[in-house]
Amino acid sequence: MPKVIDRHILSLLLRIFSVALASMLLLFLSLLVLRYSTLISDNNQVLSSVVWTCIVGLPMNVSYFIPISAAVAAFYTIKTLHQEKSLLGAVSLGYKNSSLRKQFILFGFICASITLVFTIWIAPLAARAYYTRLNILQADRLFLYTEPKTFVRLTSESTIWIEKKLNDSTMQNMLFSIENKNSEMLMVARYGKVLRTDKGVMLEAREGSIWRKDGSQRQIINFEKFLYGFESLLTPKQGWVRRLQKIWKRDEVPTAILFERVAKAAAKSTQREIEIANLSRRELLLRFTYPLLPLIFVALILAICLKLPLRGMPKFRGPLVFAAITGYSAAHVSLVTVSSQGGMATIIVFLTSSVAFAASLFVSFRR
């Protein structure tokens, strides 16, 4: 009988958790698609491309919703057991309250393990794919911002001019020039097209010529087809194309690379290496301490809401659970920020989370 009840409680926790997590992810996906819906009208993209890009980026946000879903599952499972009086009947038949708490803690460990897998391995890969696809979708801005029969200065060194725009991001009678202190290049082509690739924006020119000056040397090249990487021309400040192969956002850096940066700073004492190590150390703290949140939330709910014998759910416990979870989340983020400089401070978050978890369990099992 106790094992049947344990399985029923754990199954109820997992079912509510799955429904809550799926609902939150579906809502978030809808908001994300709505956010980038302007790409359909502004960049001439299809809805399926935008939706697929948002789906690819969804795993990088799953870990943010797992602690909330775990808290919802724990709270409503206790509430359901109170309302149905099923747990009271089980206790009267000899079911121990310690077994009930063990099922909740097991559920917390399951949620923490899932969060750890996402934060350490899956989320960086999903973020990398998401930002790449998003920049591919946004690449047509270069084509849109280029006005016919107008010299458009892309950067301080490059200029483009086109006579006419055709369909499918195609330009007719194009002139493109680059000029700096060391070299000059002038490309004239009958047709040009903006290509979106996984390495950034490329310009495909057809039926043209290139005049190039490098110091005292001059060269003229005729071509049928020529590819030029626009990612080397556009600066991040202009916001059109990010240099995907050189710049990583914080949440897409692989965890192994973060460890390498910290170890590299330990061997070198340059200021730049120390700054990079501090940022990497902070990101590692976030990735390894965030999975503790589901476990802490479940333990807090146990300490606040669970009391035997059962006499209903007092009204004040719902707001109290919300306040406790919100307060701990704020403290968690604050401690991660404070402890990002390294040294002994890096263990503050782990110690605080362990103390909070132990205190919650102590209060829960004392009842």
In a domain, 248, yes or no: no
pLDDT value of position 232: 41
Is residue 223 domain-shared with residue 283, that is, in the same domain? no
For residues 239, 240, 246 and 251, what is the CA-based torsion angle, rounded to 10 degrees? 60
138 versus 232: which is more confidently predicted?
Answer: 138
CA-based radius of gyration for the chain: 28
CA distances from 308 to 82, 87, 95 (A): 10, 10, 12
In a domain, 19, yes or no: yes
Is residue 266 domain-shared with residue 359, that is, in the same domain? yes
In contact, 103 and 95? CB cutoff 8 Å: no
**What SS3 state is found at 209?**
strand
pLDDT value of position 13: 94
Residue 182 predicted with pLDDT over 70: yes
pLDDT value of position 83: 73
Residue 292 predicted with pLDDT over 70: yes
Is residue 276 domain-shared with residue 291, that is, in the same domain? yes
Neighbours of 242 (CB within 10 A): 19
Is residue 291 domain-shared with residue 306, that is, in the same domain? yes
Task: Look at residues 238, 267, 291 and tell me which one is the last residue of a structural domain.
Answer: 238
308 versus 189: which is more confidently predicted?
Answer: 189
pLDDT value of position 282: 78
Residue 343 predicted with pLDDT over 60: no
In a domain, 245, yes or no: no
Residue 27 predicted with pLDDT over 50: yes
pLDDT value of position 183: 81
Q: Which helix (H) or strand (E) holds 153?
A: strand 152-153
d(CA 51, CA 48): 5
Q: What is the mean pLDDT of residues 352-362?
A: 67
Q: How many structural domains compose the chain?
A: 2
Is residue 76 domain-shared with residue 166, that is, in the same domain? no
Residue 236 predicted with pLDDT over 90: no
**Which of 123-137, 226-240, 302-316, 325-339 has the least mean pLDDT?**
226-240
Domain residues for 151? Answer: 141-238
Q: Where are the alpha helices (DSSP H) in 189-270?
A: 255-267
CA distances from 160 to 136, 217, 310, 352 (A): 21, 24, 75, 57
Q: Where are the alpha helices (DSSP H) in the chain?
A: 2-35, 38-42, 47-57, 59-84, 86-92, 97-117, 123-138, 141-144, 255-267, 271-289, 292-305, 317-338, 348-366
Q: What is the mean pLDDT of residues 27-50?
A: 80
Task: Look at residues 238, 272, 297 and tell me which one is the last residue of a structural domain.
Answer: 238
pLDDT value of position 23: 93
Give residue-wise pLDDT tens across range 151-175.
877 666 778 888 888 765 678 898 8
| Sign of the C-alpha dihedral computed for residues 81, 82, 84 and 89 taken in this order | positive
Is residue 120 domain-shared with residue 146, that is, in the same domain? no
In a domain, 98, yes or no: yes
Residue 180 predicted with pLDDT over 70: yes
4 versus 20: which is more confidently predicted?
Answer: 20
Q: What is the mean pLDDT of residues 113-140?
A: 83
Task: Look at residues 238, 261, 276 and tell me which one is the last residue of a structural domain.
Answer: 238
Give residue-wise pLDDT tens across range 248-274.
677 888 898 888 888 877 666 677 777
Is residue 132 domain-shared with residue 161, that is, in the same domain? no
**Which of 16-25, 36-45, 195-204 has the least mean pLDDT?**
195-204
* 183-197, strands of its sheet edge to edge: 152-153, 158-165, 170-179, 183-197, 200-214, 217-229
In a domain, 244, yes or no: no
Neighbours of 346 (CB within 10 A): 16
d(CA 313, CA 280): 45
* pTM (2 d.p.): 0.69
183 versus 107: which is more confidently predicted?
Answer: 107
Q: How confident is the model at residue 69 (pLDDT cuts 50, 70, 90)?
A: very high
Identity at 328, one-letter amino acid code: Y
Is residue 133 domain-shared with residue 171, that is, in the same domain? no
